[in-house]
Amino acid sequence: MAKYYSNINTTVTPNIEQALDSWFNEYKNYGFTPFSLNTLNPIGHYTQMAWANSTHLGCGISQRKENDWTLTLFVCDYGPTGNFIGKVPYESTNVPGYLHCPRGECAKPYGSYC
């Protein structure tokens, strides 16, 4: 089993926010069902970003000039890895998020929400 999971984005426009948005926007394809490789639309970047047990994140960027283009490679590694077949990325609850926050660990700009 892999220790880390990587999200990779390659583009000719060096826009990190766009890469992160493209991964996160996969949530629109995800119906909060157990993770599967048999989905018609991509969800794996989003589910790894949201995977509750992944506690470490490292990202890097590399650029290479090719003729008139600059190729940008943006990679994020998550650990421990997530995206386990048959599992969900986090537990869903009807309890408001602020009730789960340990005292003093709620950060702005979310006020009392974690």
pLDDT at res. 106: 58
- Going residue by residue through the chain, which has 114 residues, state the pLDDT in tens, using 9 for 90 and above: 556 667 777 766 668 888 889 899 999 998 888 888 777 788 989 999 999 999 999 999 888 888 888 888 889 999 998 988 899 998 877 665 555 565 655 555 545 545
Joined tokens for residue 114 = 């974690």
- Domains of the chain are 5-100 (3.40.33.10)
CB contact set of 64 (below 8 Å; sequence gap of 6+): 70, 71, 73
- 30 vs 25: CA distance, rounded Å: 10
pLDDT at res. 19: 86
Q: Are 62 and 73 spatial neighbours (Cβ–Cβ below 8 Å)?
A: yes
pLDDT at res. 98: 53
Nearest by Cα to 48 from 2, 3, 6: 6
